[in-house]
Amino acid sequence: MAARPGAHVCGIDAAMTVIGGKWKVLILWALHDGTRRFGELRRLVPGVTEKVLASHLRELENDGIVRREVHDEVPPRVEYSLTPAGVALNTALAPLSAWGRDHAMTAPAGRRIHGVTLIPRPPGRLVVVSG
Amino acid sequence: MAARPGAHVCGIDAAMTVIGGKWKVLILWALHDGTRRFGELRRLVPGVTEKVLASHLRELENDGIVRREVHDEVPPRVEYSLTPAGVALNTALAPLSAWGRDHAMTAPAGRRIHGVTLIPRPPGRLVVVSG
DNA sequence: GTGCGCACGCACCTCGAAGTGCGTACTTGA
DNA sequence: TCAAGTACGCACTTCGAGGTGCGTGCGCAC
């Protein structure tokens, strides 16, 4: 249906392109408190496969959300962190998170999209509870 | 992968459940300035099929986002409007929209998710530009 | 009387995102 | 010596959201 790249003017359209992936927001939340390695992200986002995690990280990198630093060492080490745009995106997601938290209590919510649930803690840690 | 309904504690998870559909945000934007009929929504969201529009509206109704009023007339008339929760959701989407608008200019944005683009205007009207 | 519009429901199909499995070249630990 | 970890890439498969097509019952315009 008319695939026309880069044609979104409405901001939500662009934002949904970025966070539309199944695990994108979980990756963003896992990165919001600093630098993470690939293996750490894999453990922080339980259920995601390595292929999908790698491809999502590439997409986020192309979108300018995460920064990817490759250290040329003998055990290969790659570090991921949020760019300023990524930090801003996380900030922009905060009211949505607040709405969901307020609304999830009152709504029946018979459906779900992820199957995993993550609980952010104020000091900066992230607790992930697999479904 | 452990489908456990109603298990999301993180708000973004719940919010993504609600706005995760392909046309959900477009429907929300189309409804943000008042009551709309089914046929109006179909015209305001070009590209959506009737079946998908109907099912998405049902899901939004079940999530308490839109109110559905059926008038028992001979030409069947159904009117849709946002509930207070829907208005709050739209408000919560505003910073995300602002982020996307700011960021879409700087990023290459080679991909896209919808294929249609909508431009909200301040007075309350909505202009939709099909891709 | 023929077709159109209304607001959907049902059955089938498509297609792309996500999942699975295997491979890399190298080091470290048991 | 062998397994495990590191950070992926490639080819294949699955699966469900979304698309297509057809049907409803009624009124109205032509």
Burial class (CB in 10 A: 0-12, 13-18, 19+), A96: buried
| Nucleotides of strand C lying closer than 7 angstroms to a protein CB | 5-11, 17-22, 25-28
* Per-residue model confidence (pLDDT) at position B119: 40
Check whether residue A77 has its CB closer than 7 Å to nucleic acid strand C. no
More confident residue, B97 or B124: B97
Which residues in chain B (65-84) have CB-CB distances under 8 A to chain A?
Answer: none
CATH number of A11-92: 1.10.10.10
More confident residue, B60 or B129: B60
Please name the member of B11, B96, B103 whose beta carbon is closest to the beta carbon of A98. Answer: B11
- At B36-93, the pLDDT tens digits run 999 999 988 888 999 999 999 999 999 999 999 998 877 789 999 999 999 999 999 9
* Per-residue model confidence (pLDDT) at position A110: 41
> Quick check: A88 contacting B, CB < 8 Å?
yes
Torsion-angle region of B46 (φ positive above 0: left; ψ -120 to 50: alpha; else: beta): beta
Q: Closest nt to A54 (CA→C1')?
A: D8
* Per-residue model confidence (pLDDT) at position B60: 95
* Per-residue model confidence (pLDDT) at position A111: 41
Q: Give chain A's mean pLDDT.
A: 76
* Per-residue model confidence (pLDDT) at position B106: 54
CB pair distance less than 8 Å for B10 and A97 = yes
> How far from B30 is each of A7, B46, B61, B81, CA to CA, in Å?
19, 11, 15, 10
CA–C1' gap, B74 and D25, in angstroms: 10
User: Is pLDDT of B118 > 50?
Assistant: no
CA–C1' gap, B76 and C3, in angstroms: 19
The DSSP 8-state label assigned to residue A23 in this structure reads T
More confident residue, A121 or A9: A9
Percentage of chain A lying above the pLDDT 70 cut:
72
Check whether residue B22 has its CB closer than 7 Å to nucleic acid strand C. no
Which residues in chain A (21-50) have CB-CB distances under 8 A to chain B?
Answer: 25, 29, 47
For range B24-37, the mean pLDDT = 91
| SS3 labels along B13-25 | HHHHHHHCCCCHH
Check whether residue B39 has its CB closer than 7 Å to nucleic acid strand C. yes
- At A109-124, the pLDDT tens digits run 444 444 334 333 333 3
User: Is pLDDT of A76 > 80?
Assistant: yes
For range A124-128, the mean pLDDT = 35
- At A27-75, the pLDDT tens digits run 998 998 899 999 999 999 988 999 999 999 999 999 999 999 999 887 8
d(CA A88, CA B22): 24
Length of chain A: 131
Domain ranges in chain B? 11-92
CB pair distance less than 8 Å for A12 and B93 = yes
